[in-house]
Chains A and B, each alone.
Chain A
Amino acid sequence: MSKIQDKQYFPSFSLRLMRVLHLDHALMFGIGALLLVGLIVLYSAGDESSALIHRQLTRIALAVVVMLIIAQIPSSTLRFWSPWMYIVGVILLVLVLLMGDVGKGAQRWLDLGFIRFQPSEMMKLVTPMMVAWYFAEKPLPPSWRTLFIAAVLILVPTFLIARQPDLGTSLLIFAAGFFVLFLGGLSWRLMIGMCVLAASMLPVLWHFMHDYQRGRVMTLLDPGRDPLGAGYHIIQSQIAIGSGGVYGRGWLNGSQSHLNFLPEQSTDFIFAVFAEEFGLIGGLFLLVLYGFIIIRGLMIAAQGQDTYARLLGGSLSMTFFVYLFVNVGMVSGILPVVGVPLPLISYGGTSMVTLMAAFGMLMSINSHRKLWSK
């Protein structure tokens, strides 16, 4: 520690505090700004309910504590526990399928008596940890054999969650695992091959989809098909965004959202509220802010201590990006409706805690680097 302090004379108090708490100040700035924006939009989206804000603040506090705790854990410890957590996670997923609670037509929750727990949420972190752990031991770029085993490690939780069915989470977990492969040096030729294969598998996938999932895809292609049902969400959310214009209607002035035209306006569709009230300029600001966090995450990953830290950090940053892309893509009508929240802004506790835990890992990768190299 003393060495670092020698290089930078008179570090401010906040920088010193960050360092003691193993936090990265750039990342903290980005996260803080997003959380603040989130609360502002939520106040408007939730019809100016202070109770809603209080609940969200409680969740944020909990999530920050989780992040702080994880930031203190060196990535070598995370690495050691990765396979065990993965095994436990997969067992829990199987249990959910066998005996989970059904909510809104899908089976996601496991009732442990004292707490209702969503194992799929944990797998968002544990799957990339596991694949990174596996890759860390192997020479990279990976051999065919290594790739095959890694693919199995990714696909097992992906399919278990798709069976619940929770397409959004399943997609995020697949993406998280895939990015480890990509960052670990998956050959370009193979990736192109996989894309072609995936495209040709689409009709098969269609066959296995639930009716409501098919409906969502059909609705994307033609929202007017079912204007009272599935198409309603997309039509109303596009009206909200479009009517925001360049400058927006101003905070608390969005008529689409305040007249309850928008569905799920505090959760999955909160971006539409934001875009209606803050316009294109607000949208640009938000996308830049997200871009900043993602790039910063990738930079931290690139300077990671070892292969495990690098791969995990890179994958978590990219998963954060997928969250953003899927949510904004859905709300603005270029992707089908998949239940993925807008990261750090949507109302709700589960994804908030997961995301902040991921940031805790990134912080830990960043700050424990120098201590380790000693």
Chain B
Amino acid sequence: MLHRAVIKNHTLEAQLFKRRALVAAIFCVLILLVLLSRLVYLQFFEFSHFSTLSENNRVHLSPLAPNRGLIYDRNGVVLAENRPSYQLELTPEQIKDMPETLLDLAEIVDLDEDTLKRFDRLLKRSNKFEGVPLRTKLSEEEVAKLAVNRHRFPGVEVKARLGRYYPMAKSMAHVVGYVGRIDENELKRIDETNYKGTTHIGKNGLERYYEDQLHGLVGYQNNEVNVQGRELRVLDKIPPVPGNNIWLTLDARLQQVAEKALQGYTGSVVVMKPHTGEILAMVSLPSFDPNLFVHGISHKNYKRLRDSPDRPLFNRSIKGQYPPGSTIKPFVGLGGLETKSIGHKEQINCTGHYLLPNEERKYRDWKKTGHGMVDLEKSIAESCDVYYYELSYRMGINRIHEFLHRFGFGEKTGVDLLGERAGLLPSREWKKRTRNKIWFPGETLITGIGQGYMLATPLQLASATSILSMRGKVYSPHLLSAIEVPGSEEKVNIVLPPREPVKLKREANWAYSINGMVSVLHGLRGTARNTGYGLDFKMAGKTGTAQVFGIAQDAEYDEETIAKKLRDHALFVSFAPYKDPQIVVAVIAENGSHGSSVAAPIARKIIDEWITNNKGTIAK
């Protein structure tokens, strides 16, 4: 160790230390006296005060759970409400022999293995003086039996609690979601103090997304209770603040019409107001009853829902990713005009198939005999594939990707639901990054007709169609319309600002693409002309048929022999009226085979319903 010449006076230092140590000792004694005087204050002068609090009357602080906010549709139809249900609660500190009490109770009410296990878990987590729920949804008969036997079970109580109820049941399950018992993971996420006394939390859908709005603030009351735990009086009380009610953009009636129209198919319907982004209906079929989940779904029921091949729990509208098929054509066509790859009157000869230079493979049109000379309007109206093979070849994948991206393809729409998928808008970079393979020219062609790698959710299709119908104006699709503080009668309307619009170099180009979509319904050879009959205004749309699997070269295929699961998906996107669009509808019927015969009529039914209900608001 380094020794430096320092002048140290050891005797002086020792004396200095002794003086300081003495000061420290005196300081310690003084502080100990402070502590002692605090004890004297608490235990001598305030003894009777604390003694009262503690001994004769124990003060039980009990949390008061706030009432959960209600959920309404745009017209005030209740989608989620709170209804009283009876539940059995046990207060551990008042029960001498828990196992025996449980055995005795099992003779009166129905207690299965799952119930007991869950009770055990809850028991470990709760305070001894708080009621722990054992059984929910007691029947009238069980409540009566318990009342008769009440004297046998000190510490066992039947309490009326408010439980969540969804009057529309299956109709809104995916969007509204449901609440369920708070689990371990959620306990870590939430502010435990604010959830004292609350047993349920939003698990899914809007119930989950707007949990903060719906939950409210916990209140509490101090109860004076005697040694047996009987409540004597309420000392003080801070009432809970109920959660806010939320109003949705959804129209329950339209939702049911849409559901009925799609009935028989698995699939999805998304209906939007293009000039605000409000979602009017969001259907995903098959559906499930969310009420099953509120009080703990039975294992059997859950297994049935989870393992069903039709995946009823899956919200197809935001999570289902489908090849958009021909519904992409109006967008690609618009991109062709915008990039000057083609003129709006320019014609391409369709012979029924298309050949890439230096390639053997035939790219087939859906119409074997071909469409003849085809311009943009005709290509949309008759859904000519060859036109788009040629156009895609001219544009190249980079420009297709760039243009479609502006309409939100390959990107989440940001709707107020959790778990939305982004779809897939392929590009050279994407293929290099994820598959480490180069892009082939043939892949550009099939991307141009919405096949190949490309995927979109029903919501994305509705949103993109909405942008097209509004000629570039972009409004975020959303479900929340207003927030209401209960009792105040005042709603705060939620209006989302428009997003960065899609700007074209030539505004006139919008009309060429839209005219094509009008011809789909009103043209002589429009693919959905049967759906367009009898309309007293003009609507625009585009049919689509998405291949579920590739068909071998030159092979004819017979729908009868293909199992239903392998049939093509039927798609239809539309808006009406085409000049001043009031409503946008996107329909996907899985394995529906044809967009024109299956999906388009579904959209027509929804639009008809909207018009009958909004007479006068639809411009003719």
Task: State the A residues within 8 Å of B (CB).
Answer: 80, 137-141, 179, 182-185, 226-229, 232, 238-246, 255-256, 259-261, 275, 279-280, 283-284, 287, 290-291, 294-295, 298-299, 301-302, 304, 306-307, 310-311, 314, 318, 321, 325, 328-329, 332-334
Given contacts A242-B43, A280-B44, A318-B24, contact A307 B54 (CB under 8 A): no
Interface hits, B41-70 → A, CB 8 Å: 42-44, 46-47, 49-51, 53-55, 58, 61, 63
Given contacts A243-B55, A298-B24, contact A279 B43 (CB under 8 A): yes
Assess whether B502 is interfacial by the CB under 8 Å rule: no
B220 CB, nearest partner CB in chain A, Å: 6
Q: Chain A residues with Cβ under 8 A from B453's Cβ?
A: none
Given contacts A259-B128, A260-B128, contact A283 B39 (CB under 8 A): yes
* B44 A246 Cβ-Cβ under 8 A: yes
Assess whether B8 is interfacial by the CB under 8 Å rule: yes
Interface hits, B3-23 → A, CB 8 Å: 4, 6-10, 13-14, 16-18, 20-21
* B4 A183 Cβ-Cβ under 8 A: no
Assess whether B613 is interfacial by the CB under 8 Å rule: no
B154 CB, nearest partner CB in chain A, Å: 16
B51 CB, nearest partner CB in chain A, Å: 5
Contact of A243 among B10, B50, B61 (CB under 8 A): B50
- With A and B bound together, what is the CA distance between A302 and B55 in angstroms? 48
* A259 B58 Cβ-Cβ under 8 A: yes
Interface hits, B492-524 → A, CB 8 Å: none
Q: Chain B residues with Cβ under 8 A from A283's Cβ?
A: 36, 39, 43
Given contacts A241-B50, A302-B18, contact A259 B93 (CB under 8 A): yes
Assess whether B25 is interfacial by the CB under 8 Å rule: yes
- With A and B bound together, what is the CA distance between A228 and B63 in angstroms? 8
* B129 A259 Cβ-Cβ under 8 A: yes
Contact of B7 among A139, A182, A275, A299 (CB under 8 A): A139
Q: Chain A residues with Cβ under 8 A from B13's Cβ?
A: 140, 185, 307
* B42 A242 Cβ-Cβ under 8 A: yes
Residue among A137, A243, A306, A333 facing the most chain B CB atoms (10 A cut-off): A243
Given contacts A227-B61, A284-B36, A325-B35, contact A245 B4 (CB under 8 A): no
* B24 A183 Cβ-Cβ under 8 A: yes
- Scoring B residues 464 to 497 as 1 if CB is less than 8 Å from chain A, else 0, what string do you get? 0000000000000000000000000000000000
* A328 B50 Cβ-Cβ under 8 A: no
Chain A at the B interface: SS class: helix
Q: Chain B residues with Cβ under 8 A from A298's Cβ?
A: 21, 24-25
A68 CB, nearest partner CB in chain B, Å: 26
Q: Chain B residues with Cβ under 8 A from A333's Cβ?
A: 38, 42
- With A and B bound together, what is the CA distance between A139 and B13 in angstroms? 8
Assess whether B28 is interfacial by the CB under 8 Å rule: yes
Q: Chain B residues with Cβ under 8 A from A334's Cβ?
A: 34, 38
Q: Chain B residues with Cβ under 8 A from A299's Cβ?
A: 21
* A183 B43 Cβ-Cβ under 8 A: no
* A244 B43 Cβ-Cβ under 8 A: yes
- With A and B bound together, what is the CA distance between A307 and B18 in angstroms? 11
Q: Chain A residues with Cβ under 8 A from B32's Cβ?
A: 287, 290-291
Q: Chain A residues with Cβ under 8 A from B53's Cβ?
A: 239, 242-243
Q: Which residue of A lies closest to B193 (CB)?
A: A229
Assess whether B31 is interfacial by the CB under 8 Å rule: yes
* A255 B54 Cβ-Cβ under 8 A: yes
Q: Which residue of A lies closest to B42 (CB)?
A: A242
Assess whether B40 is interfacial by the CB under 8 Å rule: yes
- With A and B bound together, what is the CA distance between A255 and B93 in angstroms? 12
Given contacts A238-B50, A310-B14, contact A228 B24 (CB under 8 A): no
A289 CB, nearest partner CB in chain B, Å: 11
Q: Indicate the size class of the contact surface on chain B.
A: 35 or more
Q: Please, could you name 9 A-B residue pairs with CB atoms under 8 Å apart, sorted by A?
A: A229-B193, A238-B42, A242-B46, A242-B49, A255-B54, A259-B93, A298-B21, A318-B24, A332-B35
B24 CB, nearest partner CB in chain A, Å: 6
Q: Chain A residues with Cβ under 8 A from B206's Cβ?
A: none
- With A and B bound together, what is the CA distance between A179 and B27 in angstroms? 12
Assess whether B103 is interfacial by the CB under 8 Å rule: no
* A302 B17 Cβ-Cβ under 8 A: yes
Chain B at the A interface: SS class: helix
Q: Chain A residues with Cβ under 8 A from B35's Cβ?
A: 287, 325, 328-329, 332
* A140 B16 Cβ-Cβ under 8 A: yes
B509 CB, nearest partner CB in chain A, Å: 55
* B43 A280 Cβ-Cβ under 8 A: yes
Given contacts A228-B63, A255-B58, A280-B39, contact A245 B21 (CB under 8 A): no
- With A and B bound together, what is the CA distance between A228 and B130 in angstroms? 13
**Given A229-B193, A310-B14, A314-B20; 7 other pairs, CB 8 A cutoff:** A138-B8, A139-B9, A182-B20, A239-B53, A241-B50, A242-B42, A279-B43
* A242 B93 Cβ-Cβ under 8 A: no
Q: Chain A residues with Cβ under 8 A from B218's Cβ?
A: 228
- With A and B bound together, what is the CA distance between A245 and B24 in angstroms? 31
Contact of B17 among A226, A290, A314 (CB under 8 A): A314
Given contacts A245-B43, A280-B40, contact A295 B28 (CB under 8 A): yes
* B51 A332 Cβ-Cβ under 8 A: no
Q: Chain B residues with Cβ under 8 A from A260's Cβ?
A: 93, 127-129
Q: Chain B residues with Cβ under 8 A from A232's Cβ?
A: 61
Q: Which residue of B lies closest to A80 (CB)?
A: B1
* B6 A275 Cβ-Cβ under 8 A: no
Q: Chain B residues with Cβ under 8 A from A227's Cβ?
A: 61, 220, 222
* A332 B58 Cβ-Cβ under 8 A: no
- With A and B bound together, what is the CA distance between A239 and B54 in angstroms? 6
- With A and B bound together, what is the CA distance between A299 and B25 in angstroms? 9
Q: Which residue of B lies closest to A232 (CB)?
A: B61
* B28 A241 Cβ-Cβ under 8 A: no
- With A and B bound together, what is the CA distance between A352 and B224 in angstroms? 40
Q: Chain A residues with Cβ under 8 A from B129's Cβ?
A: 259-260
Assess whether B196 is interfacial by the CB under 8 Å rule: yes
A254 CB, nearest partner CB in chain B, Å: 9
Q: Chain B residues with Cβ under 8 A from A259's Cβ?
A: 58, 93, 128-129
Q: Chain B residues with Cβ under 8 A from A280's Cβ?
A: 39-40, 43-44
* A246 B25 Cβ-Cβ under 8 A: no
Assess whether B29 is interfacial by the CB under 8 Å rule: yes
Given contacts A141-B16, A244-B43, A283-B36, contact A302 B21 (CB under 8 A): yes
* A137 B6 Cβ-Cβ under 8 A: yes
- With A and B bound together, what is the CA distance between A245 and B42 in angstroms? 8
- With A and B bound together, what is the CA distance between A259 and B51 in angstroms? 15
Q: Chain A residues with Cβ under 8 A from B193's Cβ?
A: 226, 228-229
Given contacts A80-B1, A229-B193, A255-B55, contact A332 B24 (CB under 8 A): no
Q: Chain B residues with Cβ under 8 A from A332's Cβ?
A: 35, 38-39, 42
Q: Chain B residues with Cβ under 8 A from A306's Cβ?
A: 10
* B39 A275 Cβ-Cβ under 8 A: yes
Q: Which residue of B lies closest to A314 (CB)?
A: B21
- With A and B bound together, what is the CA distance between A310 and B50 in angstroms? 45
What 3 A-B pairs have minimum CB-CB distances, sorted nearest first? A242-B50, A243-B54, A229-B193
- With A and B bound together, what is the CA distance between A245 and B48 in angstroms? 8
Q: Chain B residues with Cβ under 8 A from A226's Cβ?
A: 193
A138 CB, nearest partner CB in chain B, Å: 6
* A185 B28 Cβ-Cβ under 8 A: no
- With A and B bound together, what is the CA distance between A303 and B286 in angstroms? 86
Q: Chain B residues with Cβ under 8 A from A295's Cβ?
A: 25, 28
Q: Chain B residues with Cβ under 8 A from A141's Cβ?
A: 16
- With A and B bound together, what is the CA distance between A264 and B433 in angstroms? 53
- With A and B bound together, what is the CA distance between A185 and B14 in angstroms? 11
- With A and B bound together, what is the CA distance between A307 and B17 in angstroms? 9
- With A and B bound together, what is the CA distance between A332 and B10 in angstroms? 43
* A243 B47 Cβ-Cβ under 8 A: yes
A180 CB, nearest partner CB in chain B, Å: 11
- With A and B bound together, what is the CA distance between A209 and B131 in angstroms? 37
Given contacts A298-B24, A325-B31, contact A183 B17 (CB under 8 A): yes
Contact of B47 among A138, A139, A245 (CB under 8 A): A245
Q: Chain A residues with Cβ under 8 A from B34's Cβ?
A: 334
- With A and B bound together, what is the CA distance between A284 and B25 in angstroms? 18
Q: Chain A residues with Cβ under 8 A from B43's Cβ?
A: 241-242, 244-246, 275, 279-280, 283
